[in-house]
Amino acid sequence: MGVTKANLERGAGILMPVSALPGPYGIGTLGKSAYEFADFAAESGYRYWQVLPVGPTSFGDSPYQSFSAFAGNPYFIDLEYLMEEGLLLKEEADALDFGSDETDIDYAAVFHNRFQALRMAFSRSGHKRNKEYKDFLGANAFWIDDYSFYMAVKFHFENRSWQEWDEDIKYRRKEAVKKYRELLAEDIDFWKFCQFKFREQWNRLKSYVNEKGLKFIGDIPLYVAMDSSDVWVHRDLFELDEDCEPVHIAGVPPDAFSDDGQRWGNPLYRWDVMEEQDFEWWCERMKANASLYDVIRIDHFIGIVNYWSIAADCPTAIDGEWKKGPGEKLMRAILPVIGDAGIIAEDLGVLTKPVKDLIRKLGFPGMKIIEFGLDCAPDNDYLPHNYSTSNTVAYIGTHDNETLAGFLNGCKRAQLAKIKAYFGARTAKDLADKIIRSLFACVADVAIVQTQDLLGLDNAARTNLPSTVGQNWRWRATKEQLSGIDTAYYRELCRMYNR
């Protein structure tokens, strides 16, 4: 079977999480600010808008640890649109506390108050009579009922992980499933309503984005959270013991960035069982994401070929071992179901020959990060002059890296001198602009800049510091900041470098 995905059209892109958009009520949404951002991106000459995963977030607020690999984040449902529909009063939303700092997301405040507003809207909604709602349930039958049931039970047990629920429903015993479905029928409907509204607003925004000549790049984690409807419902697909505890978990081995490696804690897949089922769960997952995004970036793509398996009782990632993943078998199963959607392979990390060979064979673009090359060693693969193929997506840094200003502020004088020499910058002040120009000028088909770097923000605006919990995923832009970006300047860069 010779299915491959075509290379991405040459263009520039901007990395901006939905959560980081400006606006009222504590967190970015799919409302007016999202449309204004699409206008800004189009006026700047960009062709791509990359977002982080848009699933419902769990402990630590990471979009890479979600309650579902299929669902959308209810936080992103725009309350002002619900007001326009007559489902919510402005004074009701204004009476709730969503935090007081427009540049920061107070997740505790959002969690405690967002669902109050959504439940008010749900109580007034006639969505169950709509053909669109029935069509939505039919189109998402693989996951919507399981997810909504899981969330209803989860809230019933005070938001505890499903492993801590009463034993009968933890193990999904038939009598317990029947009992809780009856007991929580209205709550189950509420969670379905949230997904319907998320998807309704997302589809409207995506149509607008595409009409503007932009494509959405979406990001999906390779692994799913232990505390998720996916693991609770499909326990046979994951490495769990008879007590529903993980046997082995995901992570990466020690490297230059971490002496202990990274212990992510996600349960590993039983790839043999998935293969016996023709990778049905993965096919459904990719089909769902292909309906959300124009291009799908698969995070930690290397884990599909070879993955680091850590015993669940090991406190670090040091004592893991490499295991062989499904590789080409999985990709051949999912490619036919995603239609015209493109794929980006996040190939950062231990890039073995089998990983390189598979990416090359399937034609997927890989990734380059300029910040990884700023030791300025002439043979560093991450410096623009060493990009060996145009079939590449190049970044200055991603959500996991320092902002450009933060990185440069932390450089010692000797390193900064090397960087200035490489990019032809006379002063530290114009260095960031020279680096952005180099990104636009490079051979990579797609060049993506974080919004924080266009704004020149330091590490106080960093999106995520891996292996830490508490202050990540919180940054938001203000309208004033975004309106201060020189769209004409970046539009000219796009023209100059054929983007």
Task: Please list the pLDDT of the chain residue by residue as tens digits (499 residues).
Answer: 445 556 799 999 999 999 999 999 999 999 999 999 999 999 999 999 999 999 999 878 999 999 999 999 999 999 999 999 999 999 999 999 999 999 999 999 999 999 999 999 999 999 999 999 999 999 999 999 999 999 999 999 999 999 999 999 999 999 999 999 999 999 999 999 999 999 999 999 999 999 999 999 999 999 999 999 999 999 999 999 999 999 999 999 987 667 888 899 999 999 999 999 999 999 999 999 999 999 999 999 999 999 999 999 999 999 999 999 999 999 999 999 999 999 999 998 878 899 999 999 999 999 999 999 999 999 999 999 999 999 999 999 999 999 999 999 999 999 999 999 999 999 888 999 999 999 999 999 999 999 999 999 999 999 999 878 889 999 999 999 999 999 999 999 999 999 9
H or E element in which residue 123 lies: helix 107-124
**Distances, alpha carbon 445 to alpha carbons 12, 97, 221, 395, 441, in Å:** 8, 44, 23, 11, 10
Neighbours of 173 (CB within 10 A): 12
- The architecture of the domain spanning 11-496 is Alpha-Beta Barrel (3.20)
Q: Is 299 a catalytic residue?
A: yes
Note whether 48 and 446 are within 8 A (CB).
yes
Residue 467 has a pLDDT of 77
| Choice among 102, 189, 280, 400 that is catalytic | 400
Q: Is 453 a catalytic residue?
A: no
Which among 277, 170, 301, 325 has a CA at the least distance from the CA of 232? 170
| Choice among 230, 294, 346, 371 that is catalytic | 346
| pTM (2 d.p.) | 0.96
| Choice among 299, 347, 371, 453 that is catalytic | 299
Residue 257 has a pLDDT of 65
Q: Is 346 a catalytic residue?
A: yes
Residue 259 has a pLDDT of 82
Tally of CA atoms within 13 A in the half-sphere of 490 that contains its CB: 26
